[in-house]
Chains A and B, each alone.
Chain A
Amino acid sequence: MHGVRRRAGRFICALAAAAWLPGCAGTDASRGGTAVPAEFYRGKTISIIVGSGAGGGFDTTARLVARHIQRHIPGSPTIIVVNMPGGGGLVAANHVFSAAPKDGTTIGLFHEAQMMNQLTGGEGVNFDLREFNWLGSSYDDPNVCIIRRDAPVTSFKAMIGSSNPVAVGGTGPGSNTYDAPRVLAAATGATLRAVAGYPTTNDVRLGVERGEIQGMCLGWESVKSASSQWLQDGYAKVFVQNGTSRHKDLPDIPLALEFARDEQSRVLLRLVDAPGSMAKPFTLPPGVDLRLVEVMRGALAATYRDPAFLEDARKMQLEFQPKDAGQIQEILSDVLSTPPDIAARYREIIQP
């Protein structure tokens, strides 16, 4: 028994050394020109609360940023990632809004689609997104729909009013894999049939491979990082994109907006696209000392410019296209001031 303990002790020490190593290496703190003492964060631990489980897109982004942002915060605090899954980010959003400490040591990263939840008066929303101290978003991730090339209809124009519905798979209400095709169909008259119930988007991808569904709608970043092989091989293609202007990667793909039936449809399409334009945003809770907010905003912006960070991101096929706090606030106030009748219509459309 003593033998076990001794050996275990040595093992634990080795592990501890391994875990501390990167912390020892990165001490070149850049100086932020603010009134906060540079020592404020020294020896402190900053937690990034991620609104989903380990291994997903949010988690990956948080861990990638956590690995590099330390170098850009004066005092080089320790950064840890804490997963707080639940309600598609609702649990984490509520937590960061009210329960989390307001001393600048808790950062939130939860699903931007919570703005639709707030807009449509979803249950359990105990926050106002406009009151958060946003630091910056990570991606510009417009919603696009892809389809297998061997599907009976592959052009969006031909789908409008077609008698041959195209089945696209999704997880369920509240996710853009399901909501986006519903809104798309309602706003343009395209015969897209959204099938809900897949456990994850990976299961939707397998469904496309099996052929029980012909396509799926999701963020362009996700398509690039997880399904780029499909596009390269000509196995599948993007047939429509949401958004207000064509994405620079997709100059030849039509915008859904071009086929909108009427003005209300145009508003609905802009709504379904809004979250993607500020994808994976980091935030501090409301009520944090504004000087600390500025320090963290600067640190996040510097991280996004850091060559070492960009190299890691490139390896993971992630293209960061951040938006700053001002732009995020603009999107939020825009979306959240949508007239109630349109919000109600949106809610009605995404109901199965």
Chain B
Amino acid sequence: MLAPHTFGIMLVGVAIGLLVGILPGLGGAATLAMMLPFVYPMDAIGAFAFLLGMHAVTATTGDITSVLFGIPGEATSAATVLDGYPMTRRGEGGRALGAVLSSSLIGAVVGAVVLAISVPVIRPLVLRLGPPEFLMLTVLGLSFIVSLAGARLIKGFIMAGLGFLLAMVGLDPQSSIQRFTFGQLYLWEGINVVPVVVGLFGGAEVLQLMLTRQSIAHRRADERLAGVMRGVRDTFEHWWLTLRASAIGFGIGVIPGMGGAVSQFVAYAHAQHTSRHPEAFGRGSIEGVIAAGAVNNSREGGNLIPTVAFGIPGSISMAILLSVFLIKGLVPGPAMLTKHLDVTYAMVWIIVLSNVIAVGVSFLFLNQLVRLTFVKARILVPFLMVLTAFGAYTAHNSFADIVVMLAATVAGVAAMTWDWPRAPLLLALVLGDITERYLFLSYSLYDWRWVGRPLVLVLAVVTAAGLLWPRLRSRRDTPAPAHHRADAIIAAGVLGIAVWAISRAAAWPFRTAVFPMAAGVLLLVLSAAKLLLCVGRVPRADTQPYVGRVPRADSQQYVGRVPRAEGEGIASGPADQIDDLPDTFATASRREWTSAIGWMAAFFLLLWLVGALVAVPIFALVYLTRAAGQRPLWAVVYAAASWFFLYGLFDRALRVPLPAGVLFR
């Protein structure tokens, strides 16, 4: 196994990885590149222990911030927010963390074991999967939009259409023609998923916290660590789901060019698709948490396959690991299975051990971490605001990232308030451009003959079966989704976007236009349909602007998202009644809204003007004393600590570029 000093090096790597995972946006790849110089003096196995140990655990701690604060620490932890955060708000943060950590560990072990077993046989299998098969896999992934949308089918598809349109932004890879870029250079590369995820989920959650006077968790759970153990038990009770999600992570990890965000949403959607309680997803389903946790750690095993077997990295992180191979004089490829088999198997051990350690360490701190969700939420706001800002900023080190994040925040708040599902948008965003790319690549290579490839046909059948299966299964009546007056306005807005997109696409050559056009037409039809439905069913006497998720007794139309009084537990066990969470967006007064939005605008304006090192402490000081009602001394300490955190850790130690103010240029 590993020599003691190698083990020591791995511990250092794991420690860094844990920290990086918690810090938003400080992605695994950027950190790997930063740490690369340190591996020169190490031996080969030591170097992998350090870097792979670091890389393998970032997803684990990335999940922790997703669960506790609703802000994904990594792009690969976004789906964990969907159910993990609602559980925390219910006071079940411990249970959610227990489930996500234990499923992460199982996922990592499964990924590593499959890597070890499959290394000798994987080459021919990987070579059978070409662009047409990748295309069909993305189509399979897109078919899950149906499950993600659930009872809100039209809304879900409209959100997916918007995601698809967002995926088309940027230079068309076929012709380099600009699509929907408004002449902005920033948009040429397309819309990065990280700022969108951070805004859609994190930004919206922070705003929600600013509107409340309470803590994140709404019910004081008497059990904390007991909850953690319960989460662990949940994972084992759903062992079959854990294994399937792990398999998805590994399988998508093998495919080059599919980022971690893809596998997580696909696994999440698959879990919802196959669940007996799909309606609980998005409101704190333990199954959603388990699937999201298992998938992103099993991915590492799959990711290593193309690197080890072909010497061809499937992701940026793997490209950096590959350079370590070269520095250490190892030649990836067949020799890794003969001459350097020890290195290959050391990598398997490193993945397993580093994950065991990471989960062990996380369990030690869980108690304190969960406690954070019971303190007054406004105390956390400056800290969380920094997480969202930096999480977005590190995508391109550009303030435009923060602007995208804020736009996504607005969309996220609207989606939460009027019950538009957010997950389909993200799935379409991460899969849209890959689908287009592989369709044209398949066509360029094979004309239409690709359709007849055996694996393509198999995948088509699997997709069709997956779509038909829920129709064949007898399903209980799902509650009718609530209608909101704002739905009509949103649908009209989407209609406008669709018309605009179609008119732009009409001027482009065929190949450049066909996907945006298809997305535009789809949106046009769906939003028109939604508009007609809304007009036909205007809720009477609805004068309240924010009819959120609060179920109202007087009208059957407002059953919201809750199947109530069915006397039947959801997800797992009778003790698991899903209460509706108080909807802050619905209950906040106009003044509270103005104040929260004002504070948020002030923070980002300040950040833009004077940069992070000045803006963050000032905001912390003022916000804590004025809005959170904290004593000045405590606010000063908080502000000073935030400055040291930024300057010491980000600016000096990690040398991460921080937003610099325009005034100091």
Partner of B368, one of A1, A11, A47: A1
Stretch in contact with the other chain, from A29-37, A54-62, A255-263: A54-62
Distance between Cα atoms of A59 and B327 in the complex (Å): 16
Name the distance in Å between B323's Cβ and chain A's nearest Cβ.
6
Whether A16 touches B186, Cβ cut-off 8 Å, given contacts A4-B365, A56-B319, A316-B323, is no
Partner of B256, one of A60, A203, A225: A203
Within 8 A of B (CB), among A201-247: 202-203, 205-207, 209-213, 225-226, 229
| A213-B33 in contact (CB<8A) | no
| A213-B445 in contact (CB<8A) | yes
Does B398 interact with chain A (Cβ within 8 Å)? yes
| A63-B37 in contact (CB<8A) | yes
| B178-A54 in contact (CB<8A) | no
Whether A15 touches B317, Cβ cut-off 8 Å, given contacts A22-B37, A54-B30, A59-B33, is no
| B173-A84 in contact (CB<8A) | no
Whether A94 touches B130, Cβ cut-off 8 Å, given contacts A63-B33, A315-B327, is no
Does B8 interact with chain A (Cβ within 8 Å)? no
> Which residues of the other chain, B, contact A54 by a CB distance below 8 angstroms?
29-30, 32-33, 316, 320
Closest to B509 in A: A352
Name the distance in Å between A273's Cβ and chain B's nearest Cβ.
21
| A197-B437 in contact (CB<8A) | yes
> Which residues of the other chain, B, contact A173 by a CB distance below 8 angstroms?
175-176
| A171-B326 in contact (CB<8A) | no
Partner of B306, one of A78, A87, A206: A206
| A12-B648 in contact (CB<8A) | yes
Distance between Cα atoms of A226 and B332 in the complex (Å): 10
Name the distance in Å between B114's Cβ and chain A's nearest Cβ.
20
Whether A197 touches B173, Cβ cut-off 8 Å, given contacts A1-B372, A315-B326, is yes
Name the distance in Å between A86's Cβ and chain B's nearest Cβ.
5
Does B94 interact with chain A (Cβ within 8 Å)? no
| A87-B372 in contact (CB<8A) | no
Closest to A56 in B: B319
Whether A55 touches B174, Cβ cut-off 8 Å, given contacts A82-B657, A312-B40, is no
Distance between Cα atoms of A307 and B73 in the complex (Å): 41
Whether A206 touches B188, Cβ cut-off 8 Å, given contacts A55-B316, A59-B33, A197-B173, is no
Distance between Cα atoms of A171 and B112 in the complex (Å): 32
- Of the four ranges (under 10, 10 to 19, 20 to 34, 35 or more), the interface on chain B belongs to 35 or more
Partner of B319, one of A4, A172, A195, A202: A202
Within 8 A of B (CB), among A1-55: 1, 3-4, 11-12, 15-16, 18-20, 22, 47, 53-55
- Of the four ranges (under 10, 10 to 19, 20 to 34, 35 or more), the interface on chain A belongs to 35 or more
Stretch in contact with the other chain, from B204-212, B307-315, B352-360, B594-602: B307-315
Does B610 interact with chain A (Cβ within 8 Å)? no
Distance between Cα atoms of A53 and B190 in the complex (Å): 14
> Which residues of the other chain, A, contact B441 by a CB distance below 8 angstroms?
195, 197-198
Name the distance in Å between A172's Cβ and chain B's nearest Cβ.
5
Does A83 interact with chain B (Cβ within 8 Å)? yes
Closest to A47 in B: B657
Does B556 interact with chain A (Cβ within 8 Å)? no
Contact with A along B349-384 (1 / 0, CB 8 A): 000000000000000010011011000000000000
Whether A20 touches B319, Cβ cut-off 8 Å, given contacts A55-B33, A63-B37, is no
> Which residues of the other chain, A, contact B312 by a CB distance below 8 angstroms?
202, 205-206, 209
| A199-B189 in contact (CB<8A) | no
Name the distance in Å between A114's Cβ and chain B's nearest Cβ.
13
| A16-B649 in contact (CB<8A) | yes
Name the distance in Å between B29's Cβ and chain A's nearest Cβ.
5
> Which residues of the other chain, A, contact B251 by a CB distance below 8 angstroms?
none
| A90-B188 in contact (CB<8A) | yes
Does B653 interact with chain A (Cβ within 8 Å)? yes
| A15-B16 in contact (CB<8A) | yes
| B649-A12 in contact (CB<8A) | yes
> Which residues of the other chain, B, contact A312 by a CB distance below 8 angstroms?
40, 327
Partner of B186, one of A1, A86, A174, A352: A86
Name the distance in Å between A156's Cβ and chain B's nearest Cβ.
22
Distance between Cα atoms of A1 and B368 in the complex (Å): 5
Does B397 interact with chain A (Cβ within 8 Å)? yes
> Which residues of the other chain, B, contact A67 by a CB distance below 8 angstroms?
37
Distance between Cα atoms of A20 and B37 in the complex (Å): 12
Partner of B437, one of A19, A80, A199, A316: A199
Contact with A along B262-298 (1 / 0, CB 8 A): 0000000000000000000000000000000000000
Does B626 interact with chain A (Cβ within 8 Å)? no
Name the distance in Å between A215's Cβ and chain B's nearest Cβ.
14
Does A321 interact with chain B (Cβ within 8 Å)? no
Partner of A174, one of B176, B185, B256: B176
| A172-B440 in contact (CB<8A) | no
| A86-B29 in contact (CB<8A) | no
Q: Give 6 closest A-B pairs by Cβ, nearest first.
A: A16-B653, A197-B441, A55-B316, A54-B33, A173-B176, A199-B257
| A and B contact pairs by CB, cutoff 8 A, 25 listed | A1-B372, A12-B653, A15-B654, A18-B653, A55-B316, A55-B317, A56-B316, A60-B323, A63-B36, A83-B30, A84-B396, A85-B396, A86-B189, A87-B189, A94-B185, A167-B445, A171-B173, A173-B176, A196-B444, A197-B438, A202-B313, A207-B131, A209-B127, A212-B445, A352-B174
